[in-house]
Structure 1
Amino acid sequence: MPFYKSCKLRTGRYSQHGGIYLLSTVVLNRAPVFQDFKLGRCVVRELMNAQRWNQAQSLAWVVMPDHVHWLVQLKDASLQSLMRQVKSRSTKAVNNLSGSMGQLWQAGFHDRALRKEEDLLATARYVVANPVRAGLVSRVGDYSLWDAVWL
Structure 2
Amino acid sequence: MAEALASEAPKVPERNVIPRKEQKVSYKDATVHRYSAVGQEYLVTLCTQSRTPKFENFSVARATIGAMRHLEVQKLATITAWVVMPDHLHLLLSLTCEKGLGHVVARLKIHSSRNAGMQIPWQKGFHERTLRSSDDRRDIARYIILNPVRAGLVRSIRYYPHWDSVYLDSEYQ
Quickly name the TM-score band, shorter chain normalised: 0.7 to 0.9
Structure 2 residue corresponding to 1:83, chosen from 81, 84, 105: 105
Aligned to 2:65: 44
Alignment of 1:24 onto 2:24: no
Aligned to 1:72: 93
Q: CA deviation at 1:29?
A: 1.2
| Residue identity in the other structure for 1:132 | V
* Displacement over 6 Å in runs of 4+: 9-12
* Shift in alpha-carbon separation, 1:126–1:149, aligned structure 2, 3 A: same
What is the CA RMSD across the aligned residues, in angstroms?
2.0
Q: CA deviation at 1:36?
A: 1.1
Q: CA deviation at 1:53?
A: 1.1
TM-score with structure 2 setting the length: 0.76
2-structure distance, mates of 1:143, 1:46: 19
Q: CA deviation at 1:93?
A: 2.3
- The structure whose Rg is larger is 2
TM-score with structure 1 setting the length: 0.87
Alignment of 1:124 onto 2:141: yes
- State the percentage of identical aligned residues: 35
- Greater relative contact order structure (CA < 8 Å, 6+ sep): 1
Task: Work out the number of aligned pairs and report it.
Answer: 141
* Shift in alpha-carbon separation, 1:81–1:118, aligned structure 2, 3 A: same
Matched position secondary structure for 2:92: strand
Q: CA deviation at 1:12?
A: 7.1
Is the contact between residue 32 and residue 102 of structure 2 (CA under 8 Å) also seen in structure 1? no
Matched position secondary structure for 1:90: helix
Aligned to 2:163: 146
| Residue identity in the other structure for 2:108 | V
Deviations along 1:52-79, one digit per CA (max 9) or x if unpaired, are 1111111100000000100001101410
Structure 2 residue corresponding to 1:135, chosen from 140, 148, 152: 152
Deviations along 1:110-129, one digit per CA (max 9) or x if unpaired, are 01000001100000000000
Deviations along 1:8-51, one digit per CA (max 9) or x if unpaired, are x9997221110000000101111111111111001000101101
Unaligned runs of 5+ in 2: 1-19, 24-29
